[in-house]
Structure 1
Amino acid sequence: MKKSYLKKLFLLFIVAALALTLTACGSDQAQNDSSETENTAAQESLPEEINFGILRVPNDETIAVAEGFFDDYFTERGIEVNTRVFDSGVEANQALASGSIDFATMGNTNAITALARELNVELIWIHEVLGENEALAVKNGSGIETVEDLVGERIAVPFASTAHYILLNVLKEAGIEKDVQLLDMQTAEIVAAWERGDVKAAYTWQPTLAQLLKSGSTLTDSREMAEKGYITANVDVVRKGFSEEYPELVADFISALTKAGDIYRSDPEKAAEIAGKELGLETEVALHQMRGTTWKTREELLSEDFFGTIDQPGNFAKVMKDTSDFLQNQGSIEESPSQEAFNEYVNPEYIKMSLENEENN
């Protein structure tokens, strides 16, 4: 009996041990399955690709592309980065409307058009405040030496652009807005018309402006007009469908632009060399164009002069509203959105998130 009893105890011990082993294996497998599920879910939460609409200008975005900063933030996480170059914000808005791009760089006047057309985007960044890089050029030998001398002339300009907005105000201040003919042309068309002799004056931006100034001079520029209160800038907008689903990626986009901007702030010549190589410009030319604009840091953009905060919107929303009202009066847009709409449109949250991410890392 005793031997039989011990045998039963031994068998029970073996059975219990096997049960514990199987339970542990099952638990480990469950944890592994759970971990794999979480990793898969994390990967599924990222988009397969991000599509950027960019302008061919020497700015922070051009440097970020050239230096591979977008690859650091996106490609290495399995997100394909695609860039499309647009000649103007008009084309970028068309792409935004079709959903073929997620981010787009454009002049702030086109960003106003995007809001007025209810494209469901939001303004998240200011690349540069425009200055000498946008100007009213007149051809050598044309006899045009002052703005008033433009009476009876044809002036080329991309309509609904920052250049168009500034030109209209230049003509208005001179009192000759009804005495000239404006021609709606994209930048490449302006150069061709200039070289053919079809136009003697044009308001455009770099690098197109540099081509015109080989045989011309400037009457005024956006820096002079900014001093009179007519502020223009190249900005970035994002589709809300993207930003609402991937707010961290929008913050990462701003972080990449900040890294690029820091290169310019610490070493302008190096930044010009990078941007010039990317755009096919000589370093000196790129540097001259870059120095014709003002690049702001994240901290500066969060000040009351620009984005401000969600509770206390900054002055840039007011600039946008004032510009919008002018564009409506000129017939460029049918209806000017309300100040409340612009306060919501100029969104500082992603800049703030970018700063917080850096502080936490």
Structure 2
Amino acid sequence: MTQFTRRAAIAALAAPAFIRSASAAPETTTFDIIAVRDPQLGAQIALAAEFDLFRPQGITPNIRWTQSAADTLTIMGGGSAPVGTGGSFTQVVFGGQRLPIRTISALADIAETQGFVLSPGVRLAHPRELEGKRIAFTQGNSQVLLLAKLASLYSFDATKVQLVNMNQSEGVVAASRGDVQGLMGWQPNLYRLIQLGGTMYCTGATLHVNGRPEPRPADDLLLFNHSTLLASQEWIDSKPNTLTALLKALMAANTILTDDKPRAIAALGRTLRIDAPALEVMANANKYALGISPALIASHRFQSEWAVSIGRAPSPPRAEDCFTTRIAEMADPALVTWRPVA
């Protein structure tokens, strides 16, 4: 009989009833997971490890923490790991290259953590005053689409805004010094610029151009993006019980995220090594939810169109070729609210 530690026993008892339900034994118990060390892409993985939620499901994964989803592209794309976390764009790249890797679940809607912050002292009477300004961004990331969306909404010429490519930490410093008039990027970089006196101008889901938050309609965001859990097609076919066990452990972790956020944030701080104020901003902005939903597919299509526009994909990869509902259905049929077209 498996010998549980006291911590594991408590975690098992605290898990929802569906997590403890009997299921087929995992085909393998030990395997690598490529996880990105941030609360957008790694929260549930970190909590499952912190609260020993994998063991009740009969698995002991080896978590290989990385710095960005670019590492997931390299490692999973090279066949060195069967499971990993990424963003919607990660799946688009895999799909565009016709690699046999598919999304088995969303992790979070992360649109609210992507945004645009004005530099300290910069005040705009109207978004058209962005014309002639210098804005820092990181090439290869879809936050640049925020500018195009603002230009469409407020009728200004986005080509008259000078985009300056630099990494996010450099962008924070440049914006704080006034070398550029704003930064497009993601948390916690946006938070850090705001702490230095910057002003939030918009996120992927909310406008702030009038000095107050104005949430966008769910079907008309400025930017659609999700974090995702990906697996190789070989594992989806040959080790579905192992992947289901993994997803069930993440479901238990997601329950802690949604039902006991202070406890979750404290645990995330220990694993993800992010200062508490920034971590709280990020964790509260993300909408953590597992499964395969229409919102997840909307993010895929949005990111696909952008990928084609910058030459990262020859054509938009079909959602039916990039997502599988099989594992989510095995974990809990209620997780699946989108179905592929036959």
**TM exceeds 0.5?**
yes
Of 169, 182, 198 in structure 2, the residue corresponding to residue 201 of structure 1 is: 182
For residues 1-361 of structure 1, the aligned pairs below 5 Å read 46=28, 49-57=31-39, 59-70=43-54, 73=57, 77=59, 79=60, 81-87=62-68, 89-144=69-124, 146-174=126-154, 175-194=156-175, 197-215=178-196, 216-224=198-206, 227=217, 228-229=220-221, 230-296=223-289, 298=290, 301=291, 306=293, 314=294, 316-328=296-308, 330-338=309-317, 341-355=318-332
Q: Per-residue deviation at 1:56? A: 1.4
TM-score, scaled to structure 1: 0.70
In terms of fraction of residues, the more helix-rich structure is 1
Structure 2: which amino acid aligns with 1:52? I
Corresponding residue SS for 2:64: strand
| CA RMSD across the alignment | 2.9
Q: Distance in 2 between matches of 1:48 and 1:128?
A: 25
Q: Deviations over 1:28-62 (max 9, x none)?
A: xxxxxxxxxxxxxx99x527531323241263233
Query: What is the aligned partner in structure 1 of residue 22 from structure 2?
Result: none
- From the superposition, tell whether residues 265 and 334 of structure 1 become closer, same or farther in structure 2 (CA, over 3 Å): closer
Deviations 1:238-260, CA, capped at 9 Å, x for gaps: 22233323211211221121111
**Which residue type is aligned with residue 46 of structure 1?**
T
TM-score, normalised to structure 2, is 0.74
Per the TM alignment, residue 262 of structure 1 is displaced from its structure 2 partner at its CA by 0.2
Residues 274 and 93 of structure 1, relative CA distance in 2, 3 Å threshold? same
Residue 65 of structure 2 aligns to a residue whose secondary structure is strand
8 Å Cα contact 1:251-1:353 kept in structure 2: yes
Query: How far apart are 1:286 and its partner, in Å?
Result: 2.6
Change (3 A) 1:318 1:263: closer
- 1:204 aligned counterpart, secondary structure: strand
TM-fit CA distance, 1:285: 3.9
The alpha-carbon distance between structure 1 residues 274 and 154, as it changes in their structure 2 partners (threshold 3 A), is same
The structure whose Rg is larger is 1
SS in 2 for 1:269: helix
* Residue identity opposite 1:350 in structure 2: I
Give the drift of 1:162.
4.3
The 8 Å contact of residues 95 and 321 in structure 2, kept in 1 or not, is answered as: no
Letter in 2 for 1:264: L
TM-aligned CA deviation for residue 200 of structure 1: 3.0
Distance 1:319 1:263, change over 3 A: closer
Shift of 1:219: 0.6
Q: Equivalents in 2 of 1:191, 1:323: separation in Å? A: 25
Whether the aligned pair in 2 keeps the contact of 1:138 and 1:144 (CA below 8 Å) is no
**1:149-201 deviations in whole A, cap 9, x for unaligned?**
32233323333434244444334444332112334444344335445654331
Q: Check conservation: 2:73, 2:90, Cα contact below 8 A.
A: yes
1:22 corresponds to which residue? none
Distance 1:130 1:286 in 2: 14
- Tell me if structure 1 keeps the 8 A contact 2:33–2:82: yes
**Letter of the structure 2 residue corresponding to residue 104 of structure 1:** G
User: What is the number of equivalent residue pairs in this alignment?
Assistant: 294
Gap change, CA 1:192 and 1:247, over 3 Å in 2: farther
Whole-Å Cα distance in 1 between the matches of residues 171 and 81 of structure 2? Answer: 26
Where does structure 1 lack aligned partners over 5 or more consecutive residues? 1-41, 307-313, 357-361
Counterpart residue number, 2:211: none
Residue type at the aligned position of 1:99? G
Query: How far 1:337 moved relative to its partner?
Result: 2.9
Return the letter of the residue paired with 1:331.
Answer: I
Unaligned runs of 5+ in 2: 1-24, 208-215, 334-342
Show CA shifts across 1:177-232 (max 9, x none).
21123344443443354456543311222222221111211111112275324422
Residue 140 (structure 1) shift: 0.6
8 Å CA contact 1:124–1:351 kept in 2: the answer is yes
Higher relative contact order (CA 8 A, sep 6+): 2
Identity %: 16
